[in-house]
Structure 1
Amino acid sequence: MPQFEVDGATLTYDDEGPRDGGGVPLVFVHGWTANRHRWDHQTAYFSVRRRVVRLDLRGHGDSTGAGVRTIEEVARDVLALLDHLEIERCVLIGHSMGGMTAQTVALSHPERVERLVLVNSISRMAYNPGRALLMAASTLVPFKLFIAANIQRAFAPGYPREEVRAYVEASGGISREVVMTLYGAMRDFDVLDRVGEIRVPTLLVHGSHDVQLPVKQMLRMATAYPDAVVRMVDAGHELPVEKPAELTAAIDRFLSDGA
Structure 2
Amino acid sequence: MPQLEVDGAKLTYDDEGPREGGGVPLVFVHGWTADRHRWDHQTAHFAQRRRVVRLDLRGHGESTGAGVRRVEDLAGDVLALLDHLEIGRFVVVGHSMGGMIAQTLALSHPGRVERMVLVNSIGKMAYSRGRALLMAASTLVPFKLFVAANIKRAFAPGHPREEIRAHVRASAGTPREVVMTLYGAMRAFDVLDRAGAIQAPTLIVHGYHDVQLPLSQMLRLAKELPDAVVRVVDAGHELPVEKPAELTTALDRFLACRS
Shorter-normalised TM-score: what interval? over 0.9
Q: Distance in 1 between matches of 2:141 and 2:111?
A: 44
> Is 1:4 the counterpart of 2:4 in the alignment?
yes
Letter matched to residue 183 of structure 2: Y
Identity percentage of aligned residues: 79
Alignment of 1:210-221 (within 5 A): 210-221=210-221
Q: Could you say what secondary structure the match of 2:50 adopts?
A: coil
Q: 4+ residue runs of structure 1 moved beyond 6 angstroms? A: none
Alignment of 1:134-173 (within 5 A): 134-173=134-173
Give the structure 1 partner of residue 196 of structure 2. 196
Letter matched to residue 20 of structure 1: E
Equivalent pairs counted in the alignment come to: 259
Partners of 2:18 and 2:49 within 8 A in 1: yes
Q: Could you say what secondary structure the match of 1:156 adopts?
A: coil
Alignment of 1:96-245 (within 5 A): 96-245=96-245
Give the structure 1 partner of residue 77 of structure 2. 77
Letter matched to residue 113 of structure 1: V
Q: Distance in 2 between matches of 1:48 and 1:166?
A: 27
Q: Distance in 2 between matches of 1:171 and 1:230?
A: 28
Partners of 2:148 and 2:172 within 8 A in 1: no
Q: Distance in 1 between matches of 2:75 and 2:125?
A: 17
Alpha-carbon shift at residue 218 of structure 1 (Å): 0.4
Alpha-carbon shift at residue 258 of structure 1 (Å): 5.4
Q: Distance in 1 between matches of 2:70 and 2:115?
A: 23
- Structure 2, unaligned stretches of length 5 or more? none
Partners of 1:18 and 1:49 within 8 A in 2: yes
Partners of 2:114 and 2:200 within 8 A in 1: yes
Q: Distance in 1 between matches of 2:127 and 2:143?
A: 20
Q: Distance in 1 between matches of 2:114 and 2:165?
A: 37
Q: Distance in 2 between matches of 1:244 and 1:209?
A: 16
The 10-residue stretch of structure 1 (167-176 or 244-253) with the greater mean CA deviation from structure 2: 167-176
Q: Distance in 1 between matches of 2:138 and 2:70?
A: 18
The 10-residue stretch of structure 1 (238-247 or 167-176) with the greater mean CA deviation from structure 2: 167-176
Give the structure 2 partner of residue 50 of structure 1. 50
Q: Distance in 2 between matches of 1:86 and 1:112?
A: 12
Q: Distance in 1 between matches of 2:191 and 2:135?
A: 21
- Structure 1, unaligned stretches of length 5 or more? none
TM-score, structure 1 as length reference: 0.98
Partners of 1:201 and 1:258 within 8 A in 2: no
Deviations 1:148-190 (A, max 9, x none): 1100000000001111011111112211001110011111111
Q: Could you say what secondary structure the match of 2:49 adopts?
A: coil
TM-score, structure 2 as length reference: 0.98
Alignment of 1:24-63 (within 5 A): 24-63=24-63
Partners of 1:114 and 1:200 within 8 A in 2: yes
Deviations 1:42-69 (A, max 9, x none): 0000000000000000011110001011
Alpha-carbon shift at residue 140 of structure 1 (Å): 2.0
Give the structure 2 partner of residue 86 of structure 1. 86
Q: Distance in 2 between matches of 1:134 and 1:106?
A: 31
Alpha-carbon shift at residue 231 of structure 1 (Å): 0.4
Alpha-carbon shift at residue 130 of structure 1 (Å): 1.1
Q: Distance in 2 between matches of 1:172 and 1:219?
A: 31
